[in-house]
Structure 1
Amino acid sequence: MSVANLARTHGNQGRWKDAEELGVQVMETRKRVLGEEHPDTLNGMARLAFVYRNQGRLKEAEELGVQIMETRKRVSGEEHPDTLNSMTSLALTYGNQGRWKEVEELFVQVMETRKRMLGEEHPDTLMSVANLAWTHGNQGRWKDAEELGVQVMETRKRVLGEEHPETLNSMAHLAWMYSNQGR
């Protein structure tokens, strides 16, 4: 566990090469000791995919992301929080590749599942809605993006309060949308 923590620390410091070297070591050890489908192995793989994404190695991040998502679906089920998180991570990789249709498909699936499982006002659901709003913005679909962004902001204001960091993030996201529209 300490090697995994050190790899995470390197990543937090932007020391991506060091994070990668330790991440590969953690992933390979966990595969050998715990097996390829163990949650800790999959977590190590997810961390390594994150490192690859931050290094701009998007093909490698995508390959790991698809493997993680498919394994989690098979082992834990399509509605498990870890599966939904792996879908979100893969969507972010697709976003870095400019593959907005695939991003949207994954984010819609995650959002709908979280709404059904957690309710419309749960923080994870709201993050999923915010992710979809971000996607629409990147697609140039400003009206759709704004509608979702306002919905997230208003719900967070009501549920979390006006000064909560997530509420403020929602406001900043709306400002980004308005700025990109010249408003």
Structure 2
Amino acid sequence: MLSLFSTFDYHGVPLVLLQKDKETETKFRAALGALQAFSLVTVGRGKDAIAKMHRLVALSTQQWLEMNGGLDYWRSEAIRSLASKFPGPGRQEFAAWTLYEALVPHVHCLFAHHYTATDDILQVAQLQISVGLYDLSRGRYSEAFDLCSKSLEIRQQLLSQDDPLLLESVQTLGEALLHRGELQEALAMLKTAAAGREKVLGIRNPDTLESLSDLTIIGLELDNLEMAESTGTRALEGRRDALGEHHLDTLLQRKRHSKGFLILEKFYMAKSILTL
């Protein structure tokens, strides 16, 4: 626990990052208590309690790990611990925003290190996507764009062009560009993601439908109503088949689709009046 702790931002570590999978609460508290007894950490109270470590303790522990060849191992473990607590696309919940915000400093602390193992580098790319999506939800569009760009760069170097993980990075970067108002760039990214996902995952896959739904939004923003109608129809039909008529995603897609048809109807009505 001391070794793992030292790799995080020692100013305040959520206890959830320190507890091993399947470790009992009794065993965890006993280990934490031993560190407290030797004044190596201090632990707060309450539901969202954090543990703190003095800077000299953290630096000494890191130096000891490096001398004994264990620092890279524990940084890898820290990345995995963060990835297990910071969910990716489609799994982030508003109720957990407090936890996500507490995890962000530790993510950036570990991003500052150089990783050589392929698994670690790909884990970093996944965390960049997860944190990027969280930043989008908080309105931090520039930060999200930077993280999603870095994730795509990593995956382009290590994965094939039709790998679902690479397409996930293309999709997420497209979403970041959409939020930044860079619509043409977002359109190119999301078209690539949609085409790739349809080829690899199929038209009824939720990821493919997500890309089509975002293309519908961009179509409406760019007044490309024909594209919006086409992608909106395909997304709605796909979600009906895959999720059912009353699933929340289907209902949201139907609302977006109805908005598109309303705009399209007004466009053709205005066009006919001008013709007359």
Q: Normalising TM by the smaller chain, what interval?
A: 0.7 to 0.9
In the alignment, which residue of structure 2 is the partner of 1:107? 190
In the alignment, which residue of structure 1 is the partner of 2:64? none
Where do 1:81-160 residues align within 5 Å? 81-160=164-243
Residues 1:2 and 2:16 are matched in the alignment: yes
1:12 is matched with which residue: 88, 94, 106? 94
TM-score, normalised to structure 1's length?
A: 0.79
8 A contact 2:121–2:154 mirrored in 1: no
Distance 1:136 1:146 in 2: 8
Q: Which amino acid aligns with 2:187?
A: E
- Give the unaligned 5+ runs of structure 2: 1-14, 18-81, 267-276
8 A contact 2:203–2:238 mirrored in 1: no
Q: Which deviates more, 123-132 or 151-160?
A: 151-160
TM-score, normalised to structure 2's length?
A: 0.55
Q: Shift of residue 82 of structure 1?
A: 1.6
Distance 1:40 1:113 in 2: 22
Q: Which amino acid aligns with 2:135?
A: Y
Distance 1:75 1:64 in 2: 17
Q: Which amino acid aligns with 2:105?
A: V
Q: Which deviates more, 50-59 or 110-119?
A: 50-59
1:28 is matched with which residue: 88, 99, 109? 109
8 A contact 2:86–2:127 mirrored in 1: no
Distance 1:21 1:89 in 2: 22
Q: Shift of residue 27 of structure 1?
A: 4.2
Q: Shift of residue 10 of structure 1?
A: 9.9
Residues 1:65 and 2:148 are matched in the alignment: yes
Distance 2:209 2:258 in 1: 18
Q: Shift of residue 166 of structure 1?
A: 3.3
**Residue 200 of structure 2: SS of its match in structure 1?**
helix
Residues 1:56 and 2:139 are matched in the alignment: yes
Q: Which structure would you say has the larger Rg?
A: 2
1:46 is matched with which residue: 129, 136, 148? 129
Distance 2:150 2:86 in 1: 21
- Give the unaligned 5+ runs of structure 1: none
Name the structure with the higher helix share. 1
**Taking structure 1 as reference, are residues 158 and 93 closer, same or farther at Cα in structure 2, changes over 3 Å only?**
closer
Distance 2:115 2:129 in 1: 16
Deviation track 1:20-61 (CA, whole Å, cap 9, x = no partner) reads 452231343366496585232222222222233334332222
Aligned Cα root-mean-square deviation (Å): 3.2
Q: Which amino acid aligns with 2:140?
A: R
**Taking structure 1 as reference, are residues 32 and 100 closer, same or farther at Cα in structure 2, changes over 3 Å only?**
same
Q: Shift of residue 89 of structure 1?
A: 1.2
8 A contact 1:132–1:145 mirrored in 2: yes
Q: Which deviates more, 4-13 or 60-69?
A: 4-13
**Taking structure 1 as reference, are residues 14 and 141 closer, same or farther at Cα in structure 2, changes over 3 Å only?**
farther
Q: Which amino acid aligns with 1:105?
A: A
Deviation track 1:95-118 (CA, whole Å, cap 9, x = no partner) reads 111111111101111111112212
**Taking structure 1 as reference, are residues 160 and 15 closer, same or farther at Cα in structure 2, changes over 3 Å only?**
closer
